[in-house]
Amino acid sequence: MTGTHWDRYWIQGGGGCLPDADRAFGPVLETLWRDFGAQLPPGARVLDLATGNGVVLRMLAAGGRRLDLTGIDSAGTLPKPPPGIALRAGVAMEKLPFRDRQFDALTSQFGIEYGDTAAIAREAVRVLKPGGRFRFVVHHADGPIVAHNRARREAIAWARDESGVLPRARQLARARLGARLPTPASFRVAVEDARARFPGQSAAAEFQAAILQTLDMGASRPPAETLEVLAEIERRAGEEIGRLDALAGAAQDEDGVRTIVGQLYAAGLDPDEATIVIDAGVPLAWRLDGTA
Ligand SMILES: C[S@@+](CC[C@H](N)C(=O)[O-])C[C@H]1O[C@@H](n2cnc3c(N)ncnc32)[C@H](O)[C@@H]1O
């Protein structure tokens, strides 16, 4: 996919590519990247693909090996990285703006599977120095991140498309053109309904609560403003659904990973056998290591 769904995400302060889900997996991923960093010579030049907010590079930097760290991402705007890390926005993994044989290592966490993996493999072999290492961590289709995000998508889509709250909110905003009208209690009840319908999944209730708050604030404001905020809430929900769909599409089962490994070979890389990153007994991700 292109960076479309992510374009505004990172600049809005996206706390990670998987806002709720990935925090729980932090320690496993941290260990995985610390170990990779420890294998690299001090000062090694590392390129992180689909870097987002540069989380992988931050973990590598914490290893203290004074690595030369660059990240690229197709999203149009990225947050400012800490000193010592360079992030380049608007750069596709399939067309890297670097000369041949520039990097000692290539990394990616929940990144390459969002792009054209055959083209990325060709770029990887081009920009890596001979003998350079790569580690790609790829969503596992049966993992908890995918399951969590599927549930989140379902909750947001229900709140936006099926709960009926959005059209009723618009109707109320328009009715306020002619009279000062309070927000009916049903909008408050809708928040509780969403909470009860999706226990352990806050997204639907948050959507309903945002509508309620907009209507409460809109009681003393021009209806056009309320309608604009409602449109923004709907647009953001659509963007998030787009990101969650992209994640579901990017996650790989065994066949998918076999295909990617084949593409790495075909490009001239030397991949190790793919392994599964396990966390608390469940498959979190695939780990693809190898050399150029
Ligand atoms: C799930 S996020 C992962 C971000 C980061 N690696 C992390 O672990 O938090 C996927 C990222 O891939 C980026 N992306 C998607 N397609 C891309 C492409 N073709 N080239 C470069 N980046 C891409 C998106 O903009 C997004 O930032």
145-190 pLDDT, tens digit each: 888 889 999 999 999 999 999 999 999 999 999 899 999 999 999 9
From 74, 77, 88, give the residue whose CB has the most ligand 1 atoms within 8 Å, as the site to mutate: 74
- Per-residue model confidence as pLDDT tens digits over 222-259: 999 999 999 999 999 999 999 999 999 999 999 999 99
Supply the pLDDT for residue 257: 98
Do residues 87 and 111 touch, judged by C-beta distance below 8 A?
Answer: no
Least confident of 36-40, 62-66, 258-262: 62-66
Cα 78 → chain centroid: 13
Token readout for 287 is 């780990």
Q: What percent of the chain has pLDDT above 90?
A: 83
From 106, 114, 137, 244, give the residue whose CB has the most ligand 1 atoms within 8 Å, as the site to mutate: 114
Encode the chain in three state secondary structure: CCCHHHCCCCCCCCCCCCCCCHHHHHHHHHHHHHHHHHCCCCCCEEEEECCCCCHHHHHHHCCCCCCEEEEECCCCCCCCCCCCEEEECCCCCCCCCCCCCCEEEEEEECCHHHCCHHHHHHHHHHHEEEEEEEEEEEEECCCHHHHHHHHHHHHHHHHHHHCCHHHHHHHHHHHCCCCCCCCCCHHHHHHHHHHHHCCCCCHHHHHHHHHHHHHHHHCCCCHHHHHHHHHHHHHHHHHHHHHHHHHHHHCECHHHHHHHHHHHHHHCCEECCCEEEEECCEEEEEEEEEEC
Do residues 11 and 78 touch, judged by C-beta distance below 8 A?
Answer: yes
Token readout for 222 is 């021009």
Give dist(CA 13, CA 289) in Å, integer.
Answer: 31
107 ligand 1 Cβ < 6 A = no
- Residue appearing with tokens 């969002």: 114
Q: Which positions ≥6 away from 213 have C-beta within 8 Å?
A: none
2: confidence class by pLDDT, cuts 50, 70, 90 = very low
Supply the pLDDT for residue 64: 83
Q: Give the distance (Å) from ligand 1 centre to CA of residue 239.
A: 15
198: confidence class by pLDDT, cuts 50, 70, 90 = very high
| Residue 16 Cα: closest atom of ligand 1 | 9
What are the sequence ranges of the domains in the chain? Answer: 4-143+251-291, 145-247
pLDDT reading at 24 higher than 80:
no
193: confidence class by pLDDT, cuts 50, 70, 90 = very high
132 ligand 1 Cβ < 6 A = no
Q: Give the distance (Å) from ligand 1 centre to CA of residue 230.
A: 28
pTM of the shown model: 0.85
Nearest residue by C-alpha to atom 20 in ligand 1: 92
Supply the pLDDT for residue 10: 74
pLDDT reading at 22 higher than 70:
no
**What are the CA-CA distances from residue 84 to residues 9, 61, 62, 66, 103 (Å)?**
23, 8, 11, 9, 16
75 ligand 1 Cβ < 6 A = yes
The architecture CATH gives domain 4-143+251-291: 3-Layer(aba) Sandwich (3.40)
Nearest residue by C-alpha to atom 1 in ligand 1: 17
Cα end-to-end distance, the chain, whole Å: 26
Supply the pLDDT for residue 220: 87
109 ligand 1 Cβ < 6 A = yes
11: confidence class by pLDDT, cuts 50, 70, 90 = low
Q: Give the distance (Å) from ligand 1 centre to CA of residue 53.
A: 9
For the chain, the average pLDDT equals: 92
Q: Give the distance (Å) from ligand 1 centre to CA of residue 75.
A: 8
Q: Give the distance (Å) from ligand 1 centre to CA of residue 113.
A: 9
117 ligand 1 Cβ < 6 A = no
- Per-residue model confidence as pLDDT tens digits over 108-136: 999 999 999 999 999 999 999 999 999 99
pLDDT reading at 61 higher than 70:
yes
Cβ atoms within 10 Å, residue 79 = 15
Q: Give the distance (Å) from ligand 1 centre to CA of residue 74.
A: 7
